[in-house]
Structure 1
């Protein structure tokens, strides 16, 4: 004797989760793309950031400790 399977009349949903990006997320993505494209096209505009020497020394010490 075989059992009958019940089919759903409509496709299953994911529980009402809405996966849509807000407008500013797309604008931020486009802005980042344009900025990276501008750096690729004209690399002379990309200047190295001059940081605080104390932070550089701290990072160097951390790198030395991790290298041991």
Structure 2
């Protein structure tokens, strides 16, 4: 008599959101990459205060 593999009776299935959420995140990141070519760099006068702070720190650390 041949041994039969043990079956636990559990059926493993993915929920709908386990596929939909990564697909939506991928689509959103892809859209950011595709539309990123239209972005313009800000002039120094248009920078936000946080950007100016980061620039100041960068200038202080780099000789």
TM-score greater than 0.5 by the shorter chain? no
Instruction: Determine which structure has greater relative contact order: mean sequence separation of CA pairs < 8 Å that are 6+ residues apart, divided by chain length.
Output: 1
TM-score (norm 2): 0.43
Which structure features the higher share of helix residues?
A: 2
TM-score (norm 1): 0.41
